[in-house]
Chains A and B, each alone.
Chain A
Amino acid sequence: MNSMLSLTQTQRMLRHNRAAAIGLVILILFVLVAIFADLIAPYPPSAANSIDRLQGPSTAHWFGTDQHGRDVLSRVVVGTRSSIIVGFGATVATLLLGTVIGLLSGYFRVLDWVLMRIIDGLMAIPAILLAIALMAISRPSLFNVIVAIAIADSPRTARLVRSIVMSTRGALHVDAARLAGIGHVKIMLKHLLPGTFGALAVKGTYVFASAIIVEAVLSFLGLGLPPTVPSWGNIIAEGRLYFQIYPHMVLFPAVILSVLVLSINMVGDALRDLLDPRMKWE
């Protein structure tokens, strides 16, 4: 494991894989925007100006203004922060939860039966409905949104990890580790978990994208982030009402969302290749 993401290997990979390099640059840009949102935004995101409302893109307002005359660019910039935090938070929480459940149920047959019936039950409900239901019984807040998305999304991750673990559990090198006196926890962490990293890296990108979308839906329904906190979700939701006449309110945040999701996917694919030790970047 220690060698997998060495700096030189990463550099080599980036030099050979243009898409990954571009994706990584865009992703870093988004993270920087999220961190320095307050400095980058040209206007305070909630400053209403009824004279300038519903304007198209101009030099003063690159992304135009919304129905309250708020600068859409400033709101998108500040919204980046919410989306990135929810996206990262939900991805980490989903992968952690899913991996723990998947490892345990893939390795211990007795636990598998119990855990998988619970997972089956959760998977019978569409993830977004489950998240809505969970948010309906809790207070709108960043933390609760992350928890709701993690609970709704982790069954799929658990299934993925379980299937990988079940296929490697019978491998001879796992038998060899058992004969070497290695305990269950160490076998899971050292011999079974690393085999899931490649798939998890790719899975993580889907979770990230879906987390941002679920957050948008939750915010649209008034169940996600409080309306005072701009997020791409509630910007798009608000702009939807004016879409036919003033498409810029939806278009700009939607394009930005797509660019972010695409860049994460490019990084995820490259990560998958990098984590496979048989792929060499000469």
Chain B
Amino acid sequence: MNKPINPETAPPPADDDDQRAEAPLLQIDDLVKQFTVRRGLFARARKLSAVNEISLNVRPGETFALIGESGCGKTTVGRMVTGLEKPTAGTIRYRGTEMVGRSQRVTDLRREIQMIFQDPYASLNPRLRVWESVAEPIFGFRLMPKSAARGRVEELFSLVGLRPDQMDRFPHELSGGQRQRVGIARALAADPKLIVADEPVSALDVSIQAQILNLMRKIHGQLGIAYLFISHDLSVVAHISTRIAVMYLGEIVETGETRAVLRNPQHPYTQELLASVPRRRVSDRSERVRPPKGDLPSPLDPPSGCRFHPRCRHAMPECSASAPAQREMPNGARVRCHLYD
């Protein structure tokens, strides 16, 4: 989706006062995830810092975008929110309940958090007819008698723009876009309030991406489901999200209203990320900033201080010495950068 980014087209934040009064649907505080990596039997175990002290919250019915390069830990955040991965530290609260353990309440709440996966082929069991995959949450959570499940799946099929006669197909008999529609239908079958969409369109043809995004937007409008939208593609995020968090190497470097962040990015990394999006008109390139130099450092051995400093054009001595604190900017965005100390 190499559309030019125009902050004006981003959906306006829904009524601010109203939203602020409401408790967040999802509240993440100081979330940490480290993986233990061991190469060979006698090698020393090393810690891979995938996610480092991330805090964010998603309000009911909101689309919150989590953006960053591949390998920055955004998928890991999504998997922890859905419970597929256990946090090393920090808390995930959903509707005020801390999502740890297997208590009945936590299990019940897990149903309301569903996921749309990046690869719509790998996320469907090749041996099941697609309607059986969509019906899985209905059976798994005993949402209705088995006899009624097929009718419910038919409803979901029409909601996501599939024909009823496609219910008995196998995944390999559908196109990529159709398979992703099946994946969306399955997420909706659980009757969720929050959907973690992990790069839902990046595996699809560009021509199909817009269709799936429009479908997700339509569902958002009809059912009021909140999205935690994970993507590496700013142009996708610009059109769908109200708020955004930019991740770099396991940390959130900038977060705020999507319009504010895209119109006036504060953090050097956000600026360079925006600059790396291809523009249609040459005039747009006048104030172009170079894209980030070099490769993403290894999360096995993250840089000291600010994790972005080896690639930053504005790096100062203090950047490698100490990690910057989060500061609130005049436009409402919160940024972690020593430039604003």
- Taking A179-B84, A182-B136, A194-B127 as contacts, is the C-beta distance between A277 and B172 under 8 angstroms? yes
Whether A114 is near chain B, meaning CB under 8 Å from some CB there, is: no
Whether A139 is near chain B, meaning CB under 8 Å from some CB there, is: no
Chain B nearest Cβ from A27, distance in angstroms: 26
Residues of B within 8 A of A176 (CB): 115, 117, 123-124, 133, 136, 183, 186
A172 touches B137 (CB 8 A): no
- Taking A180-B190, A278-B126 as contacts, is the C-beta distance between A175 and B136 under 8 angstroms? no
Whether B114 is near chain A, meaning CB under 8 Å from some CB there, is: yes
Whether B119 is near chain A, meaning CB under 8 Å from some CB there, is: yes
- Of residues 79 through 118 on chain B, the ones whose CB sits less than 8 Å from some CB of chain A are 79, 82-84, 107, 110-111, 113-115, 117
B125 touches A191 (CB 8 A): yes
Size category, B interface: 20 to 34
Whether A109 is near chain B, meaning CB under 8 Å from some CB there, is: no
A172 touches B140 (CB 8 A): no
Residues of A within 8 A of B139 (CB): 180, 182
- Taking A180-B140, A180-B141, A278-B172 as contacts, is the C-beta distance between A172 and B119 under 8 angstroms? yes
CB closest chain-B residue, reference A182: B140
A181 touches B111 (CB 8 A): yes
A181 touches B137 (CB 8 A): yes
Whether B14 is near chain A, meaning CB under 8 Å from some CB there, is: no
Chain B nearest Cβ from A281, distance in angstroms: 14
CB closest chain-B residue, reference A195: B127
Residues of A within 8 A of B113 (CB): 179
Q: With A and B bound together, what is the CA distance between A175 and B189 in angstroms?
A: 16
Chain A nearest Cβ from B317, distance in angstroms: 44
Chain A nearest Cβ from B78, distance in angstroms: 11
Whether B122 is near chain A, meaning CB under 8 Å from some CB there, is: yes
CB closest chain-A residue, reference B84: A175
Chain B nearest Cβ from A226, distance in angstroms: 45
| Most-contacted residue by chain B among A1, A3, A175, A183 (CB, 10 A) | A175
Residues of A within 8 A of B107 (CB): 181
Chain A nearest Cβ from B270, distance in angstroms: 30
Interchain CB contact (< 8 A) of B133 among A173, A175, A194:
A173
Chain B nearest Cβ from A195, distance in angstroms: 8
Residues of B within 8 A of A182 (CB): 136, 139-140
Residues of B within 8 A of A173 (CB): 122-126, 133
B123 touches A172 (CB 8 A): yes
Q: Mark A200-238, 1 if CB is under 8 A from B, else 0.
A: 000000000000000000000000000000000000000
Chain B nearest Cβ from A273, distance in angstroms: 15
- Of residues 196 through 212 on chain B, the ones whose CB sits less than 8 Å from some CB of chain A are none
Interchain CB contact (< 8 A) of B136 among A171, A177, A195, A278:
A177
Residues of A within 8 A of B126 (CB): 173, 277-278
Residues of B within 8 A of A172 (CB): 117, 119, 122-123
Q: With A and B bound together, what is the CA distance between A184 and B123 in angstroms?
A: 18
A180 touches B137 (CB 8 A): yes
Whether A15 is near chain B, meaning CB under 8 Å from some CB there, is: no
Q: With A and B bound together, what is the CA distance between A136 and B137 in angstroms?
A: 52
Whether A18 is near chain B, meaning CB under 8 Å from some CB there, is: no
Residues of A within 8 A of B117 (CB): 172, 175-176
Residues of A within 8 A of B111 (CB): 181
Chain A nearest Cβ from B331, distance in angstroms: 36
- Of residues 174 through 226 on chain B, the ones whose CB sits less than 8 Å from some CB of chain A are 183, 186, 189-190
Q: With A and B bound together, what is the CA distance between A172 and B126 in angstroms?
A: 11
Chain A nearest Cβ from B174, distance in angstroms: 13
A–B complex contacts, Cβ < 8 Å, 14 sampled:
A172-B119, A173-B122, A173-B123, A175-B115, A175-B123, A176-B115, A176-B133, A176-B183, A179-B82, A181-B111, A181-B190, A190-B125, A190-B128, A277-B172
Binding site for A on B (CB under 8 A): 79, 82-84, 107, 110-111, 113-115, 117, 119, 122-129, 133, 136-137, 139-141, 170, 172, 183, 186, 189-190
Closest 9 CB pairs of A and B: A181-B140, A172-B123, A180-B136, A180-B137, A180-B140, A172-B122, A173-B125, A181-B141, A182-B140
